[in-house]
Amino acid sequence: MDRLEIREKIEKKLTNKRFEHSLGVEYVAGCLAMVHGADVKKAMLAGLLHDCAKCISSEEKLEKCRKYNLPVSRFEEKNPELLHAKLGAYYAQTKYGISDSDILSAITWHTTGKPNMSLLEKIIFVADYIEPNRKPLPEIEEIRKEAFTSLDTAVIHILKNTLSYLEESSSDTDETSIKTYQYYVKRRKK
């Protein structure tokens, strides 16, 4: 299945707003791939598919992950909306015919990030945050500039803002995001 066929199929599965967001991530991922020397087609495909399981209820996400034997952490059990990333990678493979492990991994980690991300994983993580259809986020213009000069700097900035927001709103924070932030801050200091 080529990207245009996937795009048509995904459009039917997502809300208009989520589809527009996915197109934005597809575009920005392609731009970031050009700048940072990644495979543009892979980046665009991962960007297009990153939220393919987003418009499913939280209960259904949890149910499907169990059905397909996808690992679910205690945190994800309490916050099943995060499972759209793992389930999305599963759907990318089973429903959209994606076998490239780098694309599947980029979809899996686009929400929390992970320590020592591949170039494509970082591109999708950052593109998801900075795409132009997003509602304005704190320091977004600065992060957009950073993304085109240093993905690691953009990753740190995004995680810092995300962790601060979750702390201020008294929301639980996924341990993976904290570990990812600590990893990149430590790496920058070296």
Q: Give me the mean pLDDT over the 143-156 stretch.
A: 98
CB of 51 within 8 A of CB of 23? no
Global model pTM greater than 0.85: yes
pLDDT confidence of residue 168: 86
Q: pLDDT tens for residues 23-56?
A: 999 999 999 999 999 999 999 999 999 999 999 9
Q: Which CATH number fits domain 3-189: 1.10.3210.10, 3.20.20.10, 3.40.718.10, 3.30.930.10?
A: 1.10.3210.10
pLDDT confidence of residue 56: 96
Beta carbons within 8 Å of 33's beta carbon, 6+ residues apart: 39, 40, 42, 43, 44, 120, 123
**Four-CA torsion 117, 98, 95, 111, nearest 10 degrees:** 10
Q: Give me the mean pLDDT over the 58-79 stretch.
A: 95
E strand residue ranges, the chain: none
Q: pLDDT tens for residues 74-115?
A: 999 999 999 999 999 999 999 999 999 999 999 999 999 999
